[in-house]
């Protein structure tokens, strides 16, 4: 039996030439010859089987070309190097305090980037799951398809522009989320730099030859040393840290006071 010709005995074995793509069509049989369409689809939108197959293939190819960019590498590589470079100029006790801040920033940024990556992977899988069945079906001869398979292709044909718009918009939104994470990273990095610049400014003023006077055992302190006493250094760090959420505990203050005093001695 030739599956490419109409099996209706009254249609003179005409070739199955047309596909009904009308969104309002409720007729189960979407493929037919010219007489079939005169009987059941006379006012409906139609395509030839060749046109239909070409356009479905084009839609599949067009949607398949949407790319979901994968996040590669760590978002912290440049952040690590810049923060480490800045911290090299700080005294050891200050550096140890900032390491906790850096760890927190890393965990926040990495967590955000992981969410973006997971969303990219999920939407890529969703798109593949939606398109793969049609990729397989459209490779067959249309007359060989059952009603359900052909109806599914017709439905896909009708909804292909909407599907393409959906996944294109999703890809744009995910790219925007990735950019927001980068901006957040830069914002935190700038805060870190500002804190370190405040500390470095005070350290530079303290360590200039004009200001530094070593304690020779005299009971009198220089005005410069009074202005940058260990307690004031603790207050300076506390002030610089106030924009973050890392206040010093009493034990940390005691440790830091001892470290700074040792440095100044």
* 10-residue stretch averages of pLDDT, the chain, 265 residues long: 87 94 94 94 94 95 85 57 63 69 78 85 90 92 91 92 91 87 81 79 70 46 47 55 51 54 50
Transcribe 218-234 into DSSP letters: -SPPPHHHHHT-HHHHH
Note whether 187 and 77 are within 8 A (CB).
Answer: no
| Cα distance between the two ends of the chain | 102
What the block records as the tokens of 162 is: 């909407």
**Cα–Cα distance between 253 and 213 in angstroms, integer?**
25
Greatest CA separation for the chain: 122
Beta-strand relationship, 31-32 and 46-48: unpaired
C-alpha distances (whole Å) from 26 to each of 6, 20, 23, 44, 150 are 20, 10, 9, 10, 14
CB atoms within 10 A of CB 14: 14
Q: Does pTM top 0.85 for this prediction? A: no
| Confidence at residue 99, expressed as pLDDT on a 0 to 100 scale | 74
Helix, strand, coil content of the chain in percent (nearest 5): 70, 5, 30
What the block records as the tokens of 94 is: 């200050």
Residue 245 phi, psi dihedral angles, 5° rounding: -125, 50
**Cα–Cα distance between 117 and 69 in angstroms, integer?**
9
**Cα–Cα distance between 36 and 17 in angstroms, integer?**
10
Give the helix/strand (H/E) hosting 20. Answer: strand 18-20
CB atoms within 10 A of CB 58: 11
| Confidence at residue 110, expressed as pLDDT on a 0 to 100 scale | 81
- Chain CA centroid to CA 166, Å: 17
């Amino acid at each position: 039996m030739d599956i490419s010709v109409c099996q209706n005995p009254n249609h003179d074995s005409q070739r199955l030439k047309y596909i009904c793509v009308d969104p309002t069509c409720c007729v189960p049989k979407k493929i037919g010859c010219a007489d079939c369409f005169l009987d059941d689809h006379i006012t409906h939108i139609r395509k030839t089987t060749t046109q239909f197959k070409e356009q479905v293939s084009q839609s599949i190819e067009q949607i398949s070309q949407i790319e979901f960019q994968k996040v590669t590498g760590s978002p912290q590589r440049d952040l690590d190097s810049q923060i480490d470079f800045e911290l090299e100029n700080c005294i050891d006790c200050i550096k140890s305090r900032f390491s906790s801040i850096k760890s927190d920033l890393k965990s926040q940024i990495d967590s955000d980037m992981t969410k973006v990556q997971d969303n990219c992977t999920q939407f890529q899988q969703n798109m593949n799951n939606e398109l793969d069945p049609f990729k397989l079906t459209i490779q067959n001869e249309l007359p060989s398809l059952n009603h359900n398979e052909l109806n599914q292709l017709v439905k896909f044909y009708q909804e292909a522009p909407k599907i393409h718009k959906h996944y294109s918009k999703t890809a744009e939104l995910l790219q925007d989320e990735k950019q927001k994470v980068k901006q957040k990273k830069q914002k935190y990095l700038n805060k870190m730099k500002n804190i370190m610049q405040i500390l470095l400014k005070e350290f530079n003023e303290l360590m200039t030859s004009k200001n530094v006077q070593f304690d020779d055992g005299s009971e009198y302190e220089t005005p410069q040393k009074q202005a940058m006493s260990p307690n004031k250094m603790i207050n300076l760090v506390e002030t610089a840290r106030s924009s973050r959420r890392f206040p010093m505990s009493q034990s940390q203050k005691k440790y830091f006071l001892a470290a700074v005093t040792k440095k100044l001695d």
